[in-house]
Amino acid sequence: MANNINDLTADFPVLDQQVNGERLAYLDNAATAQKPKQVVDTLVHFYEHDNANVHRGVHTLAERATAEYEEARKKVQHFINAADNKEIIFTKGCTDGLNLVASTYGEQNIHEGDEIVISIMEHHSNLIPWQQLAIKKHAVLKYIELTPEGTLDMDDAKKKITDKTKIVAVAHASNVLGVVNPIKELAKLAHEHGAVFVGDGAQSVPHMPVDVQDLDVDFYAFSGHKMMGPTGIGVLYGKADLLRQMPPYQYGGEMISSVHRDRTEFADIPFKFEAGTQSIAGAIALGTAVDYLEKVGMENVVAKEQELVDYVLPKLEALPYVTVYGPQDPKKHTGVIAFNMDNLHPHDVATALDAEGVAVRAGHHCAQPLMEALGVSATSRASFYFYNTKEDADQLIKAIKATKEFFNGGTI
């Protein structure tokens, strides 16, 4: 592994290329992160040497694949400090994990008149499953609103979470506003009212140390691909006693203890929730991504991203034609920076930035109710990861200035 956090191009060959004749500045990490060679090598090695299905074979390859798959589960367990590796369920991704909880725990525990509390900044993955559950069960879905600064309004949270609340589901970090939400406090609040707390860790696990026991979350979902693992693999953490009480999510192979003509006994967790053949290579390569992050050190990931935000945010805010959403203070802002340029559509901005080699995202970022609350239909979004550099930040600012000049016919 390259040992200089400011130059990791040896591990990320994808970053070392030209796009539209310019050096690539990849700033779409909130959508998906790039994969280090180590993760790609793990996939290649698995398929070239160990490929077999897990848990069901006694031959050598099956035993090797099973051992690697279960080792990956332990790596994830330690990474988020879960009490037991049985609490780590491999899923397709964060969306899949959140749907699992809504379809099983939610289906079992939400009744007419119950309340589910989420926040207005949720990604659709942590919004629609609860909205649809509420519709189906004639329950009430409530939203915690924002402060004028663009952070979660905790006074509103205290009003919205009541004894009628059965589930509170909130993102640990926003994919638009660049804020980290106080989910430990929210989980405590939920528990005081007898509700469970579901954390969406899609934008937090890749970027900061996460300790599910310290946070005391009941469920916590995240995606492998945003933390440099492959697509198609994710994790749902759940407290063992809750998981054991929940019905299965899907039925099929692997999730049973015994099947009879008229009944089935299900396997213990986590297998009860892993029906069918999982992304075996994906899980093992996710384990390699965890190894990589642990070698870098999550404290160093936090420090490097903070350094980049400290550097780029004031430069962006200083441009009079740019509006940045979320807190303006870099110390309160993660590497996710949503912005708009006056009188320019975000899609035009993203296309113009791409012409300068800068990859950003434009759109509603799967957060349409948040866009409505912000009074916009879309934004551009630059999102940094620890392998980004100040050169990437400079290229972004330069490209934004060039875009302004281009659309203004030469005047900034």
Ligand X SMILES: Cc1ncc(COP(=O)(O)O)c(C=O)c1O
What residue ranges bind ligand X (CB under 6 A)? 30, 93-95, 123, 125-126, 171, 175, 200, 202-203, 223
Q: How far is the CB of 336 from ligand X (least distance, A)?
A: 9
What is d(CA 13, CA 35) in angstroms, rounded to the nearest whole number? Answer: 9
Q: How far is the CB of 263 from ligand X (least distance, A)?
A: 33
Q: Which residues contact 99 (CB under 8 A, 6 or more apart)?
A: 125, 129, 249
Residue 89 pairs in a beta bridge with 236
Phi, psi (rounded to 5 degrees) for 248: -60, 160
Q: Which residues contact 237 (CB under 8 A, 6 or more apart)?
A: 80, 82, 87, 88, 89, 212, 217, 219, 220, 221
- Of the pair 173, 195, the CB lying nearest ligand X is at 173
- Of the pair 65, 337, the CB lying nearest ligand X is at 337
Q: How far is the CB of 203 from ligand X (least distance, A)?
A: 5
Is 366 a catalytic site residue? yes
Q: How far is the CB of 286 from ligand X (least distance, A)?
A: 12
- Of the pair 385, 397, the CB lying nearest ligand X is at 385
Which residue in the block uniquely carries the two structure tokens 């409530």? 142
- Of the pair 123, 137, the CB lying nearest ligand X is at 123
- Of the pair 96, 115, the CB lying nearest ligand X is at 96
- Of the pair 200, 218, the CB lying nearest ligand X is at 200
Phi, psi (rounded to 5 degrees) for 233: -135, 140
Four-CA torsion 178, 327, 183, 297, nearest 10 degrees: 50
What is d(CA 46, CA 354) in angstroms, rounded to the nearest whole number? Answer: 35
- Of the pair 230, 357, the CB lying nearest ligand X is at 230
Q: How far is the CB of 97 from ligand X (least distance, A)?
A: 8
Q: How far is the CB of 335 from ligand X (least distance, A)?
A: 13
Q: How far is the CB of 132 from ligand X (least distance, A)?
A: 16
| Largest Cα–Cα separation, the chain | 76
Strands 336-341 and 358-359: unpaired
Q: How far is the CB of 378 from ligand X (least distance, A)?
A: 15
At 92, the amino acid letter reads K
Q: Which residue out of 210, 366, 367, 393 is catalytically annotated?
A: 366
At 249, the amino acid letter reads Y
What is d(CA 341, CA 297) in angstroms, rounded to the nearest whole number? Answer: 36
* Distance from the first to the final alpha carbon of the chain: 43
- Of the pair 233, 397, the CB lying nearest ligand X is at 233
Active site residues per annotation: 366
